[in-house]
Structure 1
Amino acid sequence: MHIGVTGSEGKLGRATIERLREDGHDVVGFDLAGSAGPGFTRVELTDYGQALDALLGVTARHGGLDALVHLAAVPVNGLIPDAATFQNNMLVSFNALFGAYRAGIRTIVLASSITAMGFPFDVAPPRLPVDETWTRAYNTYGLGKVAEEAIAAQFAHWSADTSVTALRFTNIVGADEYGTFGRAGEPDYRRDLIGSWVDARDGAHAVALALAAATPGYRVYNVASPTSGTATSSRVLAERWFPGVPIADDLGEFESLMSTRKIVRELGFAAEHDWR
Structure 2
Amino acid sequence: MRIIVTGGNGKLGRAVVAHLKETGHEVFVFDRVAAREPGYFPVDLTDYGQVLDAVLGLEEHHSGVDAIVHLAAVPAPGIVPDVATFDNNVPSTYHVLQAARRAGIKRIVTASSETVLGLPFDIDPPYIPVDEAYDARPESTYSLGKHLEEQLEIQLCRWDPELSITAMRFSNVMEPGDYAAFPSWQDDATLRRWNLWGYIDARDAADAVLKALEVRGPGFERMIIANADTVMERPSAELAAEVFPDVPVTKQLEGRETLLSIETARRLLGWEPSHSWRDELGR
Q: Fold-level match, TM-score > 0.5?
A: yes
Q: What secondary structure does 1:53 align onto?
A: helix
Amino acid at match of 1:163: S
* Unaligned residue ranges in structure 2 (runs of 5+): 279-283
Equivalents in 2 of 1:120, 1:203: separation in Å? 21
Q: What secondary structure does 2:266 align onto?
A: helix
Deviations 1:118-142 (A, max 9, x none): 1111111111100011311000000
Count of matched residue pairs: 276
Aligned-pair distance for 1:248? 2.3
Identify the match of residue 200 of structure 1 among 202, 205, 209.
202
Greater Cα offset, 265-274 or 199-208: 265-274
Counterpart of 1:55 in structure 2 is 55
Instruction: Report the structure, 1 or 2, having the larger helix content.
Output: 2
Counterpart of 2:236 in structure 1 is 234
Amino acid at match of 1:195: W
Equivalents in 2 of 1:70, 1:201: separation in Å? 17
Aligned-pair distance for 1:80? 1.1
Deviations 1:168-198 (A, max 9, x none): 0010001211111122412223211110001
Counterpart of 1:215 in structure 2 is 217
* Unaligned residue ranges in structure 1 (runs of 5+): none
Aligned-pair distance for 1:266? 2.1
| Equivalent pair of 1:40/1:61 in contact (CA under 8 Å) | no
Q: What secondary structure does 2:190 align onto?
A: coil
Amino acid at match of 2:190: D
Identify the match of residue 247 of structure 1 among 237, 246, 249.
249
Q: What secondary structure does 2:176 align onto?
A: coil
Equivalents in 2 of 1:189, 1:267: separation in Å? 32
| Equivalent pair of 1:38/1:61 in contact (CA under 8 Å) | no
Amino acid at match of 2:243: W
Equivalents in 2 of 1:137, 1:95: separation in Å? 22
Deviations 1:190-235 (A, max 9, x none): 2111100011111101101111112011111100001111111111
| Equivalent pair of 2:216/2:269 in contact (CA under 8 Å) | no
Aligned-pair distance for 1:61? 2.1
Equivalents in 2 of 1:18, 1:52: separation in Å? 25
| Equivalent pair of 2:228/2:258 in contact (CA under 8 Å) | yes
Equivalents in 2 of 1:21, 1:94: separation in Å? 26
Counterpart of 1:180 in structure 2 is 181
TM-score by length of 1: 0.97
Equivalents in 2 of 1:271, 1:216: separation in Å? 24
Q: What secondary structure does 1:69 align onto?
A: strand
Q: What secondary structure does 1:207 align onto?
A: helix
Counterpart of 1:167 in structure 2 is 168
Equivalents in 2 of 1:138, 1:271: separation in Å? 28
Counterpart of 1:40 in structure 2 is 40
Cα RMSD over matched residues?
1.1
Aligned-pair distance for 1:238? 1.1
Equivalents in 1 of 2:218, 2:154: separation in Å? 11
Aligned-pair distance for 1:114? 0.7
Aligned-pair distance for 1:38? 2.1
Amino acid at match of 1:176: G
Aligned-pair distance for 1:265? 2.2
Q: What secondary structure does 1:151 align onto?
A: helix
Q: What secondary structure does 1:225 align onto?
A: coil
Counterpart of 2:11 in structure 1 is 11
Amino acid at match of 1:127: Y
Amino acid at match of 1:248: T
Please identify runs of 4+ aligned residues in structure 1 that moved more than 4 A: none
